[in-house]
Chain A
Amino acid sequence: MLLREVDYARPETVKDAIALLAENDGARPLAGGQTLVNVMKARAASPEVLVDLGRLDQLRTISFGADGMLELGAMATYAQLISSSEVEVARPILGEVAATIADVQVRNRGTIGGNVCVNDPTNHLPPLLVALDARFTIRSQGGERTVGASDFFQGVYLTAVGEGELLTKISVPPATSGTGDGFAAMTIGRHGTCIVDAAATVTEDGVRVVLGCVAPTPARVTEMEERLAGSDLSEESVRAAAAGVGATLDPPSDVHGSADYRRALAETLAARAVLQAAARRKR
């Protein structure tokens, strides 16, 4: 409900932000605040210093890199994803999924960087970005490195971003011909928290299927992907490929569903996401 005392800094440059994070053990970056402020209200976490990234406009841009990759600044908000013409042209699924996150107020503040760095298993973007094979650029005082999606998400609330480091951008391959993306989720009410979600990408190279909410990190469903190799992606084959996926999972049980329910949802939603992706393949 009310935060513990905290120090606050609002650096003007990324370099200064990283310096603050590196110099203070108890420092945490404050992006959109749509998760962190709640966590601090509940006193579940109480950083000593909040490093407000709000002035770092260079982290808010959405553009194309020289290699044609869609580059999303870590501080780009969900609202920006939704209204960005670059996103719409290159990888519209990002805007479509962002439009189902919470509500307008949250989308005006919440950032793509915040969503992935929190890595709450119920967040929408981690499984989606794994399906899209996104790459994550992390900067520290020592330099910059880029990490693949499967290496980025390491555990519940745990990512490859270490102490004194900052995620600066996420690079997503643009959709090429033959690429289609799908996303299916079961949520607590419309636009609510995910109970199980599935993201799928179909390319000429094959299918990527990723489940959220069933494991500490987004779970690639490799058995299903293998069964779908060379498949016609008809309803029948996709359903058949999804069958049995549930048994390979160890999802949590909670008030919104038992582990068995989540297993069943995983199979259904994985199939629906793939079918959606197949139907939306770019010509």
Chain B
Amino acid sequence: MTTVTEQPTTTLKKGYVGQSIARREDKRLVQGQGTFFDDVRRHGMGYVHFVRSPYAHARIVSIDVSKALELDGVYGTITGDEVAISTDPFFEMSVEPGGNIKDYALAVGRARHMGEPVAAVCAATRELARDAADLVEIEYEPLPALVEGEQALKNEVVLHDEAGSNVVWSGVFSWGDVDQALAEADHVVKIDRLHFHRFASTPLECAGALVEYDKGMGEWTIHCNHQMPGIGAIWMAPALRVGIDKLRFVTQDIGGGFGNKICLHPQYVVLCLLARKLGRPVQWTEWRTDQHTANAHGNERTFLDIEVAVKADGEMTGFKVRAIDDCGAFPRYEPLGCIIWAQVTPGMYGWRNIHVDFTQVCTNKSPVSPNRGYSRMQHLWLTERIVDIVAAELGLDPVEVRKRNYVKAEQMPYETPNGCVYDSGDYAAALDMALELIDYGSIEERRKEAAERGKLLGLGVGSTLDSGTNNFGQSTLLNPDLQFSGNNEAASVKLDIFGEVVVTLGTVPQGQGHETTAAQVVADILGCPPEQVNVRRGHDTWFNAHAGFSGTYASQFAFTGLGAVKGAAELLRDEMVKLAAFVLQAPEESIELSDGMARIKDGPEEAALPFMALGAIVNANNAFLPPDFNPTLNHRYVCRPYFGMVDKEKKTGQLTLTYATQIHAAVVEIDPETGEVEIIDYAAVDDCGVRINPQIVEGQVHGATAHAIGAALSEDFVYDEDGTLLTANFYDYHVPHALDMPPLKTGAMESPSPVAPLGAKGMGEGGGGGIHCICAAIQNALRPAGKPIVYDSCNPPHRVWSMLQDPEATRANVEVASR
């Protein structure tokens, strides 16, 4: 039983918070004056190109760089052998056998996925580096490629000898009594296999860094776009055998992250080694092809042997499932994905008996990295598929089944079977709003009209949770020896000598508008207009405004990032009030901050000090302050969300603090001859509690929806049996362009979070709502055509066509046993 500690939500007077203030970041970005890492230049810098494995699996017999070194303009090279000597393998989070995997910055002895970096060359220009790469001679001995997660379990082809098994992690999660629920059920719905496919958010700016090495200090400066430098440093410093303080990460503008810029440490270590070896700054920009083949895919998860217990009245009482998660060639951030789904174990629903047998395996595919919706999205897709398949098979209305089974608003805060607490939300009301936006009442009419035109029309709902503010203690449920728990984020707010308010953040924004929203929060607390608040761009280790978990990920900025900003601003405010009270010789309670001044409330006009005066006193004119009063006007605050400890035995605990709701609804028309799916109506309703900047929130909903639509209808990282990625560019890996997007209607609700500092939940990932509702809509549309079951999360035209040709093949997947 977990206790919820209600962190008091300050009722910030509704000032700038809550307003859709236009973003300050835009001024530089619309003029092309943003500074992305590839815009940074250093005199004498070298450009790096990675030589990558063309094989999915191969022994590296020999590497000869001599011809590359002879090319004029080439500064140097590095290979796996050198890396194995001068670095240690990266820290692994799993227990044995996965924890024994040796993961180096370059392939050592063996290449384990197509595109894996095997060597690197550095040259005076980008073109020369590319030419030099062609001159590196590598002899490979191809090995059989393992490309199926289920195959991996057989351990016929084993990727990592040190582990001796392809299993990275496995465990059983069992809460309640699912066997009893199944025994008592009126219907048991069995689904053999559902598959959540491999895709990623493919941020437009590729990964990369410019690395400088200061020989005198033994320090590296890494100008980059790593979106979670806290953990980047934890991986890199021990590998480089240096203290963590020797790594300075500097980010400025970042062209999207979505989680795909978290596992950049292998390439960054190579750059650090080269910078040190060659005595010059070195720069690497990832190619698009490399991002697709070798950077970050989302977790691919296969769900097997699903059994669902359903009562006659439509109440779903429990489910069991066997999940196989394919994390590609190296775990890296994994196996965290093996527990993070448990933040949303029951999905949106009230069932109490849940059994998940979870195994994660390595295959010869690109390593995964957290991808927008990380691990929760896969699990929520499962629960939504279950609801739709149960409804379809039992002849129930999927909307009614949802309402029957949703956790109710009156039950909030709601403790799930594994001890997580859904903080607030009204799922039924959000669903109603979504249905109204797509004119639910007219669906049958529209279905008939479409049929007259030869089209199959369908409606689907996808409900999803965007869980935010991670408790890293959940990692101990995977590996009890890990020393991680809780979470934190830092910020500092100061008043400069000329009265300038300056904010530095530990977060690493990649488009979420942190500079603007932080300014809104500070402006309300300090009583000045947001334009007077300067927020330093990006993350810099030397700002010292970061903590161990700093970064932008896991839908938590509104809680932890802004919580830190709020905390620091309040400390500053209190000090400013105290200082003003002293100077104006008035009691502290009578001092207010407004319009950029500290003044006596309802006092004479002269009884006011501009911020500049306060700054000047402390910084330049402080002799008259008494010895026991030492204001700094410079405050760093660490927001530490409170979770309590997790229970390693029962695998329960508060794994995350806030839960934003998103309910999506889609209406599709399918061309039965071609399988083409057209979205003709779409609605997304978001409830993330208090919205700091509603326009920014809505922008995140749009973006998450576009990602989900792309994933649902076309984006798929497909491999052939040799482990070659077939969708390595934007022709074959089709992402939505402007003409591909349906008209989007959005709605918003605000169920404030009782636990978040500003009542604002984290949001942004979107939980894959679009994938869930499009799968549902397709299944609904195809009902007249043999009732095929949608079994895969990606349904491009050829798959829909196959379902139309042979609906029975998909139906063989499902069995209903009824009393």
Contact = CB atoms under 8 A, between A and B. Distances in A.
Interface string A234-264: 0000000000000000000011111001001
Contacts of A283: none
A282 to B, nearest CB: 27
A191 B740 CA distance: 9
B287 A1 contact: yes
Contacts of B796: 256
Given A2-B127, A255-B727, A189 B714 contact: yes
B802 interface: yes
Interface stretch (B33-41, B729-737, B772-780): B729-737
Given A255-B726, A256-B796, A1 B734 contact: no
Given A2-B126, A2-B127, A265 B739 contact: no
A4 B734 contact: no
- Between A2, A3, A191, A264, the greatest number of chain B beta carbons within 10 A of the residue's beta carbon is seen for A2
B797 interface: yes
Contact of A3 (B127, B287, B675): B127
Nearest to A262: B798
A65 to B, nearest CB: 36
Contacts of B127: 2-3
Contacts of B798: 256-258, 261
A189 B742 CA distance: 12
B737 A189 contact: yes
A132 B595 CA distance: 73
B674 A268 contact: yes
Interface in A192-249: 192-193, 195
B734 A264 contact: no
Interface in A153-190: 186, 188-190
B130 A189 contact: no
B588 to A, nearest CB: 62
Interface string B644-682: 000000000000000000000000000001111000000
Contacts, number: 56
A191 B289 CA distance: 22
Contact of B740 (A3, A5, A190, A261): A190
A186 B131 contact: no
A35 to B, nearest CB: 11
Nearest to B127: A2
Interface residues of B, number: 29
B801 interface: yes
Nearest to A4: B131
A3 B127 CA distance: 7
Nearest to A268: B673
B801 A264 contact: yes
Chain A interface size band reads 20 to 34
B52 to A, nearest CB: 12
Contacts of A261: 675, 798, 801-802
Interface string B176-199: 000000000000000000000000
A167 to B, nearest CB: 25
Contacts of B805: 264
B72 to A, nearest CB: 12
Contacts of B744: none
Nearest to B713: A189
Nearest to B726: A255
Nearest to B129: A2
B674 A188 contact: no
A188 B289 contact: no
A186 B739 contact: no
A2 B127 CA distance: 6
A193 B731 contact: yes
Interface string A1-19: 1111100000000000000
Interface in B695-720: 714, 716, 718
Most chain A CB neighbours (cut-off 10 Å) among B126, B740, B797, B798: B798
A4 B130 CA distance: 9
A188 B732 contact: yes
Nearest to A264: B801
Interface in B282-337: 287, 289
Contacts of A190: 737, 739-740
A218 to B, nearest CB: 20
Contacts of A256: 732, 796, 798
A269 B716 CA distance: 25
Given A2-B130, A4-B131, A189 B736 contact: yes
Contact of A188 (B726, B731, B801, B802): B731
A189 B714 CA distance: 8
B740 A188 contact: no
A69 to B, nearest CB: 34
Interface in B768-817: 796-798, 801-802, 805
A195 B796 CA distance: 12
Contacts of B727: 255
Contacts of B797: 186, 195, 257
Contact of B714 (A188, A264, A265, A268): A188
A59 B289 CA distance: 35
B543 to A, nearest CB: 34
A258 B676 CA distance: 15
A192 B734 contact: yes
Contacts of A193: 731
A2 B676 CA distance: 36
Contacts of B732: 188, 255-256
A236 B134 CA distance: 58
A151 to B, nearest CB: 30
Nearest to B125: A2
B309 to A, nearest CB: 38
Interface string B116-146: 0000000000110011001000000000000
Contacts of B674: 186, 265, 268-269
Contacts of A195: 797
A195 B797 CA distance: 11
B780 to A, nearest CB: 23
Contacts of A5: 131
A214 B234 CA distance: 53
Contacts of B126: 2
B731 to A, nearest CB: 6
Contacts of A258: 798
Contacts of A189: 714, 734, 736-737, 739-740
Contacts of B737: 103, 189-191
A1 B726 contact: no
A188 B797 CA distance: 9
A183 to B, nearest CB: 15
A191 B127 CA distance: 32
Contacts of B726: 254-255
A188 B673 contact: no
B734 A188 contact: yes
Interface of A: 1-5, 43, 103, 186, 188-193, 195, 254-258, 261, 264-265, 268-269
13 contacts: A4-B131, A5-B131, A43-B134, A188-B714, A188-B731, A189-B737, A190-B740, A191-B737, A255-B726, A261-B798, A261-B801, A264-B805, A269-B674
Top 9 closest pairs, chain A to chain B, by CB: A190-B739, A257-B798, A2-B130, A268-B673, A255-B726, A189-B734, A261-B798, A255-B718, A188-B734
Interface of B: 126-127, 130-131, 134, 287, 289, 673-676, 714, 716, 718, 726-727, 731-732, 734, 736-737, 739-740, 796-798, 801-802, 805
Given A188-B714, A191-B737, 13 more contacts: A2-B130, A186-B674, A188-B732, A189-B737, A190-B737, A190-B739, A192-B731, A254-B726, A255-B718, A255-B726, A256-B732, A258-B798, A261-B798
